[in-house]
Structure 1
Amino acid sequence: MNLPMPTPPAATLTLFDPFGFGRAAGRYWLDAFERSVLFADVMRQRGNQYLEHIEKTRPSVLGFDSEVLMDGRDLPRPVNYELLRILPPSGYPTDPKMRPFVVVDPRAGHGPGIGGFKPDSELGVALRAGHSCYFIGFLPYPEPGQSVEDVVEAEVAFLRHVNRLHSERGAEKPMVVGNCQAGWQIMMAASLEPDLFGPILIAGAPLSYWAGERGGAPMRYAGGMSGGSWMTSLLSDMGDGQFDGAWLVQNFENLNPANTLWTKQYQLFSNIDTEASRYLEFERWWGGHVVLGGNEIQYIVDNLFIGNRLSTAQLVTSDGRRIDLRNLRSPVVVFCSKGDDITPPPQALGWIRDLYEGVEDIVASEQTIVYCVHDTTGHLGIFVSGSVSRKEHTEFTANMDYIDVLPPGLYETTVSDASQRDDAELIERDYLLEFTPRTIAELDQVVQHSTEDDTRFATVARVSEINLGLYRLFMQPWVRALSTPESAQWMRRMHPNRMGYRLFSDRNPLMNAIPVLAEKIRADRHPADDENVFRVLESIASSQITGGLNAWRDFRDGATERMFLDTFGQPLLQSLVGLGGDAHVHRRRPGSEPEHLRFIERRHAELREQVAEGGSHEAVIRALIFVLGGAPSTDERNFKRLRASHAELEPQLTVADFKRLMREQFFILKLDREDAVEALPEMLKGQTAEQIAGHLTHIEHVLAASGELSEHSTERLERVRGLFEQAIDQAPIIEAESRAEAQAWISRQAEAQRFALNEMEDLMESQPVAKAEPEAKAEPEAKAEPEAKAEPEAKAEPAAPRRRTPSTRRKPDDNKR
């Protein structure tokens, strides 16, 4: 008969183990054993998940239901891309009249779907805003003979289809988002077919591959240290014409050996009871390796990674079209991060200084470029992180119409926390998008361009061409002769990144006992406390391992950089490859094409003829741009108020017309500011005095939206006020009494506006925490108060505009104050 073992009293245990180390050790080793088994079971699930995923015809981690609208395999030049329509979840109604939203997935070795990976992804943000959403994804294997140009043409065909679906409903051109490698694909497509694109957002996308600061961006040295692109050709030939994306993923993982070899796994092991689902969700995408065509990856490495030909307009299509990013007519938003070691800010922004000598060149090309530099997030966090999507991507999506109407130029945007601002009650959402005009010189502080480094990278490009030629002459015929589809398949299976998944799956007989043991442990788990001394020692040991691997990474990257700079900085090597002499320019700015110069001249002539043309809308917009010195506003509030007011004054004025007016008036002021401003009274002819006075009040109302004007802007506003009063004197009102009434109405409106602003300041001082209700709610409250009396003067004016502004608010009694 088996009797249960008696438990010793606590006093006895304390007597034999006064400090509790033995008991802590026992609990720790039991917990460590259980965590080890559970960890192995998660690895088993990861392996099974990997095998199930890669064996699908259309593997994807897209987190939304979708339907295929176009299959790239049916195009005249077949590709493995497809256009999907995202089916909105329940409770997310979409408005077909709103601008459609297209996300293009990056094809950089991982599987498709990362742009819609989570509910808080870019697609989730757009769906919540009511946009119709589309997704351009891809299949795991390329079509035979597929090229980069074919992929770009397929994306153009997809955008044409989206435009056809929504143009009949009056929607504007789609906003297109390109993540990582999809960014340069979208920019190439937009340079070839600029009329298909609305605003473009490129997130973490490298476009200037030679750029980067010393001590960072270690991947830019990879091409030089491997001797060029010959190894890419070798791997493609061994893969029977296909390149395994697992090699690209391995390059990413080598950037951070601490995370790859230890931290990621230890975090799972340490928190095995809570981390399993998150870990498996991410690994489903990270391990979904895809295959690229050999000619595709060779084109990318030769022309982009090593040749850097995209940012200098040196790429020419097979049918002779030059890919020049200056052809873009859509606003471009560049989102990058200082914490991104795969696409650091210099590589994301360097193309701007490569193409444009100054902001004047950007303006002449009628281009609007906005960039945002995040401080900390990593490469994947730019388009995967929920916090980034809820903040930056939400603001970009909500304000694309505002960005679309910005005058041509270069702007830096920041997203500020509305709750930390003094005018928080005037802001609709949790964050405020603000814009600051920048110059190329200011951008250079981020890009940190180096002419000496350009010479080194140009040397790498020449060495790469030589080595690739030697490989193709002496080795390629033998490698291709020995490669077969079967050998290529086995090479992919034996890749370390793929093999790690297979070894821990159920297809390994040694894993059969793991799920049974793991199930028993989950039923009777004995976790150790976080205060357990041995758990603390475990955490310290983990930190030491992480620190050691990080030190090795820093040493490796520093040594690689020094070796690269010393090797390719040798004058002898540079001369041997034909780059000797001070007169050689290794990264010249592309010259303007004759047709582009003729286009600019023709536009200038057209705009000069329109200096005195137009009506009240043109006059109001021109006055606003003049007062603000070129930019329509410092943040989104002025634009919203201006657009809402114009919609009220003339409902038939579409958003597209409004944007066209903004840009035309900006260029007219840019060409001849003095004549354009003096033409304001002429443009207001035909308006009554009261109408002109209403336009002037509207201008003052818009300018007051984002705070106090600068001294220079105030002086310009006084000049505009004088010109509008001159137009009132010339207005078709015969009676002097009516003219006097109009002038008095202007004075009363200005006084009422000043009073409203003072009231707002008093309210902010008396209630610094409370937020004011929106204006739309303020009017019913005013009607409900019987004691609140409106100003008799404002009430007596019959011709006051219908819109609600600070100048038409009711003035409360002193008692109510």
Structure 2
Amino acid sequence: MTLEKPELPGRAMSGLVANAVEYMVDAGQRSVLFLDIMRQRGDQYRDHVAQTAPHVLSYAAELIMDGRKFDQPVNYALVRIIPPRGVEIDPKRRPFVVVDPRAGHGPGIGGFKADSEIGVAMKAGHPCYFIGFLPEPMPGQTIERIARAEAIFIEKVIERHPEADGKPCVIGNCQAGWAVMILASLRPELFGPLIIAGAPLAYWAGVHGKYPMRYSGGLLGGSWLTALTSDLGAGKFDGAWLVQNFENQNPSNTLWTKQYNVYSKVDTETERYLEFERWWGGHVNLNAEEIQFIVDELFIGNNLAAGRVKMSDGTAVDLRHIRSPIVVFCSKGDNITPPQQALDWILDLYADVDEIRAYGQTIVYTVHESIGHLGIFVSGGVAKKEHAEFSSNIDLIDVLPPGLYEATFEARGPDTTNDDLTVGQWVMRCEARTLDDIRAMGGNSPEDERRFETAKRVSERNLEAYRKYVQPWVKSMVTPQMAEMMRNWHPLRLQYQAFSSKNPLMTVVENAADKAREERKPVDDDNPFFALQERISKQIVSSLDQWRDQQEALSEAMFLAIYGSPALQSAVGVDPQSTPSRLREMDPKHRERLQARIAELKSKIGAGGLREAGLRALLYVGSARGMVDERSLEALRRLRRADESARLTLAEFKTLVREQFFMLLIDRDAALAAIPKLLPNNKDERRKTFAAIQEVLSASAEISGEVAKRLKQVAGLFGLDEGHTAKKAS
């Protein structure tokens, strides 16, 4: 038997010393290289802000329209994205238009890498356009003026693609989401499907214990502070303050993780870090009128879904006027725009799904389990999954019957049925939902609604007092030069400037970094001192997260206590005993139009031919599943391509789908009873159409249960024998 020789204490100590020396060398080199990355970040920042039109788009672009030259100028522009080599664009496919958020950062985030919203849309063959902006607003620029300019941009896109199979699909990220929704309600004829990513639309919504950002307006006493900040900026609001709000939501990442990740992986993280920081540090300004509208009308007032936002000509913004399908993409991991703020506007506008249908509206939503706010429109993984599927299946969304759906995604695999009918790595389906599915995510109680209404009224009074007693004095004191100086001294800007090459000490760092790269000796991951460093980092993150949680809990408790006070509520005119409801009643004029449309569709139930009968039958049988799959649409698309005589434009097909769907909804028995009268006498034609219905239905799943039962009923209406039906359905 051989005994292991015990390790001598001296040898163990020697190994520990060696590990310590290796770690100290590595740590010293990493420190120098990290400081040099901060220098590069500072220089990059200075170069970026010195540009006339800075952006972070990774694609070449062609300027199409410059909003600064409009009769009512704005600092926005429309550009065409030039496809990179190897990407083929189909000019007959609907164009995509990405509108970037103007929330303190510069433009380009929707296309700042290959796996992006623009990238996946081009990969799917769509022409792509981008609506971006310059750092400085034009004099007199307002949110309404920007909306009018964006309408001109979209009109231009439509004009450039007369043969496209649909109106442009418009993507609105974050703050651009509500702006796109406002425009689509005012000019519904311009839009194809809308994809609203990470965009707040119901600003008071949320649940207790989460998402404390919605309390900020009330805890600051309302929007008077917004007005003061704009006045200190000589009529301009510094977007760096908006970025600061985002930073404050995650102090562990802001104060530690973001920088530590670069320090600990200094050999591999430089490019990714600098790429992101080029956008994150590109702060832009807004006019005082713009930011005041955003804060008063939206974030504190919550007036958008309520229909209380009005244009200068008195036109009220009513989101129910939107006629295009709306795709809402949100995430449970987003503490800036949580699912409640992204979706609860639906509860404010519609009493149930039937009312959504009554407005001819199609709403599709998807809720990611964990991705953060920026990841919704920045993450490569999200781009390759959700955004890629939306881009590839935008026609499926456009022809969905009116209603409420949730988009779900199933990974493709060897067992995927009819795999050849799918594209990408995921299979997308739209499953029918009700408003109860949205309510189940949580929301405000009547007490919460009273609290936010009270905060709104306090804000109005504080703003009025500020404008009357303080604003004239502030405006008289602040000069443009003072405002520019204060902007340059903003803490977020200083952190870039201080480490740039403008600081003479950074020359020493640059030289030391060059030498460190030449002599680089990275430590092994199993070094005990490196492992200790990782543990300390995790403890720091945990401590900062605990501090954040305590601050958020305190903020929520203060808001609930202050604005839940019956005395304060009564003082500002809120009845402490009321049960507020934000649900809006249907417009009487719309009800009249709806009744007229119902009467018209009833009169047309017996009109049509084989095409109408086949589609009506398909909708009847398919509705038993409560979902629509991308494979079914692709099967239907292939059938249409094979039959040139039956070709319809996408718009014509969408109209036909909606008419047949509504006929079934209004009077299903009469609609089904009329099918035999619409069919030709030629039995071969009926059999061919019935086989097509079966092919579409079987593309996504086996025909069984209620689907098989309804298919058998349709076979009878088509005058086909039962044996033929059973053979095809099996």
* TM-score, normalised via structure 2 length: 0.96
1:125 and 1:394 in contact (8 A); partners too: yes
1:193 has 2:187 as partner: yes
1:159 has 2:154 as partner: yes
| SS of aligned partner of 1:371 | strand
Deviations 1:21-48 (A, max 9, x none): 2222222112111111111110000000
Deviations 1:678-719 (A, max 9, x none): 0001111x4412111211222222222222335223222222
| SS of aligned partner of 1:18 | helix
Q: How many residues align?
A: 721
| SS of aligned partner of 1:434 | strand
Deviations 1:241-265 (A, max 9, x none): 0000000000100011000001111
Amino acid at match of 2:204: W
Write the distance in 2 (CA, Å) between the matches of 1:173 and 1:37.
53
Matching residue within 329, 347, 350 for 1:353 = 347
Deviations 1:40-93 (A, max 9, x none): 110000000001001110000011000110111112211100001001111112
Residue identity over aligned pairs, in percent, reads: 51
Structure 1 unpaired stretches of 5+: 1-12, 729-742, 758-817
Matching residue within 33, 37, 41 for 2:28 = 33
The answer for the alignment partner of 1:760 in structure 2 is none
Deviations 1:205-247 (A, max 9, x none): 0000000111111110100110000000000000000000000
The answer for the alignment partner of 1:617 in structure 2 is 611
Amino acid at match of 1:211: A
Write the distance in 2 (CA, Å) between the matches of 1:647 and 1:606.
31
For the structure 1 residues 350 and 380, does the alpha-carbon distance in structure 2 shift closer, same or farther, using more than 3 Å as the test? same
1:104 and 1:176 in contact (8 A); partners too: yes
The answer for the alignment partner of 1:786 in structure 2 is none
Residue 18 of structure 1, CA deviation: 3.4
Write the distance in 2 (CA, Å) between the matches of 1:130 and 1:565.
51
Write the distance in 1 (CA, Å) between the matches of 2:593 and 2:442.
30
1:717 has 2:714 as partner: no
The answer for the alignment partner of 1:805 in structure 2 is none
1:697 and 1:749 in contact (8 A); partners too: no
Matching residue within 483, 505, 512 for 1:510 = 505
Write the distance in 2 (CA, Å) between the matches of 1:416 and 1:696.
29
The answer for the alignment partner of 1:292 in structure 2 is 286
2:451 and 2:563 in contact (8 A); partners too: yes
Deviations 1:617-654 (A, max 9, x none): 10001011111237785311112212321332335322
Residue 19 of structure 1, CA deviation: 4.7
2:418 and 2:631 in contact (8 A); partners too: no
For the structure 1 residues 354 and 416, does the alpha-carbon distance in structure 2 shift closer, same or farther, using more than 3 Å as the test? same
Residue 747 of structure 1, CA deviation: 4.8
Deviations 1:294-314 (A, max 9, x none): 110000000000000001111
Alignment of 1:541-552 (within 5 A): 541-552=536-547
2:165 and 2:651 in contact (8 A); partners too: no
Alignment of 1:685-724 (within 5 A): 686-724=680-718
1:66 has 2:100 as partner: no
Matching residue within 83, 104, 112 for 1:109 = 104
| SS of aligned partner of 2:119 | helix
Write the distance in 2 (CA, Å) between the matches of 1:423 and 1:414.
16
| SS of aligned partner of 1:85 | strand
Residue 530 of structure 1, CA deviation: 1.6
For the structure 1 residues 421 and 488, does the alpha-carbon distance in structure 2 shift closer, same or farther, using more than 3 Å as the test? farther
Matching residue within 465, 469, 472 for 1:474 = 469
Matching residue within 87, 96, 101 for 1:92 = 87
Amino acid at match of 1:382: I
| SS of aligned partner of 2:557 | helix
The answer for the alignment partner of 1:591 in structure 2 is 585
Amino acid at match of 1:552: W
The answer for the alignment partner of 2:203 in structure 1 is 209
The answer for the alignment partner of 2:573 in structure 1 is 578
2:428 and 2:629 in contact (8 A); partners too: yes
For the structure 1 residues 505 and 521, does the alpha-carbon distance in structure 2 shift closer, same or farther, using more than 3 Å as the test? same
Write the distance in 2 (CA, Å) between the matches of 1:666 and 1:157.
34
Bigger relative contact order (CA 8 A; separation at least 6): 2
Amino acid at match of 1:263: T
Write the distance in 2 (CA, Å) between the matches of 1:283 and 1:72.
27
Write the distance in 2 (CA, Å) between the matches of 1:514 and 1:718.
79
For the structure 1 residues 599 and 358, does the alpha-carbon distance in structure 2 shift closer, same or farther, using more than 3 Å as the test? same
Amino acid at match of 1:118: K
The answer for the alignment partner of 2:365 in structure 1 is 371
Write the distance in 2 (CA, Å) between the matches of 1:582 and 1:263.
46
For the structure 1 residues 124 and 170, does the alpha-carbon distance in structure 2 shift closer, same or farther, using more than 3 Å as the test? closer
1:407 and 1:632 in contact (8 A); partners too: no
For the structure 1 residues 604 and 535, does the alpha-carbon distance in structure 2 shift closer, same or farther, using more than 3 Å as the test? same
Alignment of 1:353-752 (within 5 A): 353-419=347-413, 421=415, 423=417, 425=419, 427-429=421-423, 430-583=425-578, 585=580, 587-629=581-623, 633-649=627-643, 650-684=645-679, 686-725=680-719, 747=723, 751=727
Residue 176 of structure 1, CA deviation: 0.5
For the structure 1 residues 712 and 424, does the alpha-carbon distance in structure 2 shift closer, same or farther, using more than 3 Å as the test? closer
For the structure 1 residues 584 and 431, does the alpha-carbon distance in structure 2 shift closer, same or farther, using more than 3 Å as the test? closer
The answer for the alignment partner of 2:4 in structure 1 is none
1:125 has 2:120 as partner: yes
Write the distance in 1 (CA, Å) between the matches of 2:426 and 2:585.
41
Residue 170 of structure 1, CA deviation: 4.2
The answer for the alignment partner of 1:49 in structure 2 is 44
Write the distance in 2 (CA, Å) between the matches of 1:521 and 1:699.
69
Residue 526 of structure 1, CA deviation: 2.0
For the structure 1 residues 643 and 120, does the alpha-carbon distance in structure 2 shift closer, same or farther, using more than 3 Å as the test? same
| SS of aligned partner of 2:298 | helix
Matching residue within 245, 252, 257 for 1:258 = 252
The answer for the alignment partner of 2:323 in structure 1 is 329
Matching residue within 294, 307, 325 for 1:313 = 307
Amino acid at match of 1:371: Y
